[in-house]
Structure 1
């Protein structure tokens, strides 16, 4: 996604016109920006410089690192990737798609089994290990969408793809989360409609990215049904993190209370799947939420409860908890100590286990 598309997506998530975005920047930073200049950004006629990237970060509720990363990534892709990689990948995907069409593709039950496997692998493997396989699965399932049940499969695959796509930093992922939501709507499956929106909301809220989009998707999930479910639980905590990052402590705590009530009705016994929210994972959500709110006692309690049940085969989530402690130190005023603590925790996790979410948490601590 080019920087212009990202700016447009975030602006639209706030429900703003181009003129409104220009006014928000002018009011906050005493600039003299006009609607036409915003239009030129969105059409990629002009790339915002460092000053305007900071302005956009502030008014659109998106970390500066996301915007800066999009500019750098666009340059890298333009200069290096296209000719070297794309033809090979495209050839493999086209072959898989035609083969699936000719053979009829997997059954619904076979797709559900594949999704269960990917849900488990996501928790323990690095994103790069499964991303290409998921992209191939999306090409295959595309050939079978005459069956509404496979729109549900496609929506969940898209949600996973958004989390594993290189550079899915809460900005590039937005496109895929939205398509996942639309695909779930095609299925007529309310469970899928709520789950994909809730999963997107907690991903964006936890990562601190595209908070306006996180709120929109969470509100859509809540509007589908108020029946307790893991999708609704994810949506509530996505909104809670967005509120915390905006400084709305009362709303964040109220949503935390609501989320714990939902968990009492819908928490998971399954421990190691991305489609599950067991007790330890709920407390990962709460640990970061309370750390962001400056509730050191509550955050440490959540961390201890998470560690007590966290499976040994999921070391990445132990690193999440350590980074939450680093964030607490930084927010308490010891910025150097917090960053050093978090850097040490990241160094102890094998590089192939690192995730974009961890890197975004590091950026939040640094900032």
Structure 2
């Protein structure tokens, strides 16, 4: 393990952004370190000098010998860092849970406001930051489940939490998606029951992971209600992606057409929330679907439509569209060129804005 990987892993273990790490060093040592410099460290473009190695040692609470390479860094991460970091995090979570039980915790309306905030933050923040924040909220809300409305809140938080794990690992993400579906059932709210299943289906289908689970959850969502909704739209498009990956072109296109009809009735005006599917995001779904099917003309049209309305503050999704082009090149036979195009697009995005979905997409392109 090089020092860049170690700095990144220790930073994310604390739930810190690169900017937060720079800020902590500046606060303690009176420096003017920038986020970009931390990014260069983590990408091994620049190696910290003796002063900054000492600063990192004190701020991250890591022996200097580890940073200087005198102790096996990977062994330290598993044996020492985990033991040092985990109790602090666990203590905070336990305290938050008991406080919620003793004082009642946020109201249902306050929880809905929290969900709206997380939905917006998810679109621009890295998985590690969201994961740590949402884990604390889950500890709190589980103490308030005497109120059926909060089962709906919990189910949507679980779905967001699941998205911070790669669906391809076949365990954690799927475990949380299934628990979210069960929690939604406890709420008795059909809208929540459809939404959490649909969101899981599009997440897994888009990632190309656990396709059997994606199909099951999508089918459950469609069976609960056929009323046009964002949850149903996600379910249908997730199932379409699963069909495309399996090579079932007819089913994929049929479901895409159904998705377009649902979007016409249920598409959202909200532009920057994970709980929304505006016109640009629908076209991101279609762009990848059509690229997977080898429909270059349709995929390019979807990409252009998405770019026209894509909010400037969401560069990660512009990267998605560029990587879809890389997939198209690979599908057309230019395997090396397609992979290189996608890798260039991914590398142009700051590492802290990378999502697990982008990494899985890169792996899919390289496999092609």
Task: Give 3-state SS (helix, strand or coil) of 1:124's partner.
Answer: coil
**1:356 Cα deviation from its structure 2 partner:** 0.3
- Counterparts of 1:287 and 1:225, CA distance in 2: 27
Which residue does 2:223 correspond to in 1?
223
- Counterparts of 2:114 and 2:264, CA distance in 1: 29
Which residue does 1:365 correspond to in 2?
365
**1:89 Cα deviation from its structure 2 partner:** 1.9
Which residue does 2:188 correspond to in 1?
188
Which residue does 2:198 correspond to in 1?
198
Which residue does 1:267 correspond to in 2?
267
Task: Give 3-state SS (helix, strand or coil) of 2:362's partner.
Answer: helix
User: How do 1:316-355 and structure 2 match up within 5 A?
Assistant: 316-355=316-355
Structure 2: state its 5+ residue gaps: 1-74
Bigger CA drift: 121-130 or 260-269? 121-130
Task: Give 3-state SS (helix, strand or coil) of 1:143's partner.
Answer: helix
- Counterparts of 1:169 and 1:306, CA distance in 2: 26
C-alpha distance 362-261 of structure 1, shift in aligned 2 (>3 A): same
Task: Give 3-state SS (helix, strand or coil) of 2:271's partner.
Answer: coil
Structure 1: state its 5+ residue gaps: 1-74
Which residue does 1:213 correspond to in 2?
213
- Counterparts of 1:240 and 1:197, CA distance in 2: 15
**1:80 Cα deviation from its structure 2 partner:** 6.8
Which residue does 2:51 correspond to in 1?
none
Q: Once the two structures are superposed, what CA deviation does each residue of 1:75-126 show, in whole Å capped at 9, x if it has no partner?
A: 9997676534332221111111011111100000000000000000001111
- Counterparts of 2:131 and 2:359, CA distance in 1: 18
Higher relative contact order (CA 8 A, sep 6+): 1
Q: Once the two structures are superposed, what CA deviation does each residue of 1:55-86 show, in whole Å capped at 9, x if it has no partner?
A: xxxxxxxxxxxxxxxxxxxx999767653433
Q: Conserved in 2, the CA contact under 8 Å of 1:170 and 1:204? A: no
Task: Give 3-state SS (helix, strand or coil) of 1:294's partner.
Answer: coil
- Counterparts of 1:170 and 1:155, CA distance in 2: 21
**1:129 Cα deviation from its structure 2 partner:** 2.0
- Counterparts of 2:210 and 2:76, CA distance in 1: 22
**1:347 Cα deviation from its structure 2 partner:** 1.1
Which residue does 2:292 correspond to in 1?
292
Normalising to structure 1: TM-score of the pair? 0.77
- Counterparts of 1:191 and 1:80, CA distance in 2: 45
**1:170 Cα deviation from its structure 2 partner:** 5.6
Which residue does 1:141 correspond to in 2?
141
Which residue does 1:49 correspond to in 2?
none
**1:127 Cα deviation from its structure 2 partner:** 1.6
Q: Conserved in 1, the CA contact under 8 Å of 2:168 and 2:210? A: no
- Counterparts of 2:222 and 2:160, CA distance in 1: 21
Q: Conserved in 1, the CA contact under 8 Å of 2:167 and 2:204? A: no
Q: Once the two structures are superposed, what CA deviation does each residue of 1:308-329 show, in whole Å capped at 9, x if it has no partner?
A: 0000000000000000000000
Q: Conserved in 1, the CA contact under 8 Å of 2:167 and 2:207? A: no
Which structure has the larger Rg?
Answer: 2
Q: Once the two structures are superposed, what CA deviation does each residue of 1:281-340 show, in whole Å capped at 9, x if it has no partner?
A: 000000000000000000000000000000000000000000000000001110100011
Which residue does 2:56 correspond to in 1?
none
C-alpha distance 88-168 of structure 1, shift in aligned 2 (>3 A): farther
Q: How many residues matched?
A: 292
The answer to whether residue 119 in structure 2 is matched with residue 119 in structure 1 is: yes
Which residue does 1:306 correspond to in 2?
306
Which residue does 1:50 correspond to in 2?
none
Please, what is the CA RMSD of the aligned residues?
1.6
Task: Give 3-state SS (helix, strand or coil) of 1:276's partner.
Answer: coil
Which residue does 2:159 correspond to in 1?
159
Task: Give 3-state SS (helix, strand or coil) of 2:311's partner.
Answer: coil
Q: Conserved in 2, the CA contact under 8 Å of 1:169 and 1:356? A: no
Q: Conserved in 2, the CA contact under 8 Å of 1:170 and 1:207? A: no
**1:227 Cα deviation from its structure 2 partner:** 0.3
